[in-house]
Amino acid sequence: MDAVRRTRQCCRTRNDQDLQRVKGIRQICLAITPETYGQIWDDPSAVRACVDAAARENPELFPAKLSLGYRLTGHLPESAKLPGIRLRQLRLKSGEVYTLRPSFVLPYMSGLTDQVQYALRLLAFGVPGWLVAEGFGHNAQYWDRLIERLGRNSLVGTTVCVAERLPRHLTADEHHTRWCGEKAFVSLTAGEGCVLGIALTKSADDAHLTNAYGTFAREARQVDPQYAPQTVNTDGWKATQNAWKTLFPLVTVILCFLHGFLRIRDRCRKVELLHQRVWEIYRAATAAEFTERMQAFREWAGHFNWPALIKDAMAKLWNRTSEYVRAYDHPGCRRTSNMIDRLTNRLYRVLYAHRGLHGHQISSERRLRGWALLINFCPYAPRAGQSREHQSPAHRLNGKRYHACWLQNLYLSASLGGQRTQT
């Protein structure tokens, strides 16, 4: 007897206006401790001194018009969720009103950072919300909402502090998943070990992928209106390459060599000598040497009677020599998709633990974006007997952090919703 299908129907069409609407764009996060909060929060001159010092040190976290002048306009009502916590308001001379929030308080007054930081690290590794709720209280929906609210922020703007730190060499790929019982695709963009773009789409054709990767393009241009990556590493899927050429006409598409190797390996797993010969080609130091090694590999392979499937895979490899050698014209580019594959492996575990994605496209995509921010800011795993120079991928990309606590560093980076250019 067939089981009754219980997958609920939901909207599978993204509304870009909803994605661009950032609720936290008028909120400024200040790096202060609970002790400092108790000492200065009711003293306007002390709060002004704190704001001025923070704006001088990290101007990217504040509105550009702050330097023209502002005044403090008092407190908001006391939080019903967090008794004793009252946010303050700040009005610019140009008329815009912003809310000041201490970094140890979560947005929407939903808790304190030291109460949820470990639980959020567990969620980043795919631990189900109901299990986290058993150990840390609340319920599964509470923890899901925390991640979804993180996803409202600009992914690029929150991860990248200033325009000069935007990566010029990217990798991009799609992950196949299940969404409300149907097939879907998660498009990812990565740079310098960070997830810089993630979007959910129901198809992998040119139009849908252009729309999905377009979210990264919009957010990157909010940080730097002139931003244009030099290269992007992709697999051989033409729709992916066409989407990037549409969004960034001057970008150079680098074909991933790893996918060519995997195509051969999956058809011939036991012949290690063949695997070694393929990687010898990849290790060529120059384009000329790469071409020579590819030709030598082709001649070597011709001395053996390979099965038809292996011959086809090898033919695809050497027929794309001209696409592989483009990488030598761009020092520092990604010749394989290893960086994004590592991130996709972590995403796969999260999606598997949750049995795919459920709900509307906007809410599902925001949960993916919230997960991406957690991956970017969560501390690295400790190394045995070695100290790490950087705390997290975002710390390494930016070369600095705003707070020693990784979660407060994340929320400080998300000041103004991660919008780095203000008009």
For 394-415, how does the pLDDT look when each residue is reduced to its tens digit (9 = 90+)? Answer: 999 999 999 999 999 999 999 9
pLDDT band, residue 21 (cuts 50/70/90): low
pLDDT band at 4 (very low <50, low <70, confident <90, very high): low
For residue 333, give the nearest of 198, 201, 124, 191 by alpha carbon.
Answer: 191
Decide: residue 203, CB within 10 A, 0-12 exposed, 13-18 middle, 19+ buried. Answer: middle
The answer to whether 202 and 12 have CB atoms below 8 angstroms apart is yes
234 Cβ neighbours under 8 A, 6+ residues apart: 171, 172, 173, 240, 241, 244, 253, 254, 255, 256, 337
In angstroms, the CA 156 to CA 307 distance is 46
- The model's pLDDT over 229-260, given as tens digits with 9 standing for 90+, comes to 999 999 989 999 999 999 999 999 999 999 99
How far apart CA 40 and CA 54 sit, in angstroms, is: 15
For residue 2, pLDDT over 50 is answered with yes
Q: What helix, strand, coil percent values describe the chain, rounded to 5?
A: 50, 15, 35
Q: How many CB atoms lie within 10 A of CB 420?
A: 22
- pLDDT band (50, 70, 90) for residue 85: very high
pLDDT, the chain, mean: 90
DSSP string, 165-222: GS-SEEEEEEEEEEETTEEEEEEEEEETTEEEEEEEES--SHHHHHHHHHHHHHHHHH
Asked if residue 355 has pLDDT above 90, the reply is no
pTM (2 d.p.): 0.91
Percent of the chain scoring above 70 in pLDDT: 93
Q: Does position 370 have pLDDT exceeding 60, yes or no?
A: yes
Q: Is the pLDDT of residue 296 over 80?
A: yes
Between 421 and 414, the more confident residue is 414
More confident residue, 359 or 366: 366
Examine the pLDDT at 279 and tell me if it is beyond 90: yes
105 pairs with which residues across the strands?
112
- C-alpha distances in Å from residue 340, one per residue of 131, 175, 186, 226: 28, 10, 12, 25
Please tell me the distance from the alpha carbon of residue 64 to that of residue 337, in angstroms, as a whole number. Answer: 37
Helices and strands per DSSP (H, E), number in the chain: 18, 9
Q: How confident is the model at residue 423 (pLDDT cuts 50, 70, 90)?
A: very low
Q: Which residues contact 387 (CB under 8 A, 6 or more apart)?
A: none
Find tokens 């390494």 and name the residue. Answer: 396
Count CA atoms closer than 13 A to 414's CA, side-chain side: 27
Residues 188, 204 contacting (CB under 8 angstroms): no
What are the tens digits of pLDDT across the range 205-237? 999 999 999 999 999 999 999 999 999 999 989
Assess contact for 301 and 273: CB atoms under 8 A: no
Give the CA distances from residue 175 to residues 44, 179, 197, 328, 417, in Å, rounded to whole numbers and listed in that order: 50, 12, 13, 28, 27
Q: Which residues, including other chains, have CB under 8 Å from residue 93's CB and lie 6 or more apart?
A: 65, 68, 69, 70
Tokens of 205: 């054709």
Q: What is the pLDDT of residues 150-184, one digit of tens each?
A: 999 999 999 999 999 999 999 999 999 999 888 99
Query: What confidence tier does 356 reach under pLDDT thresholds 50, 70, 90?
Result: confident
Structure tokens at 12: 């599978």
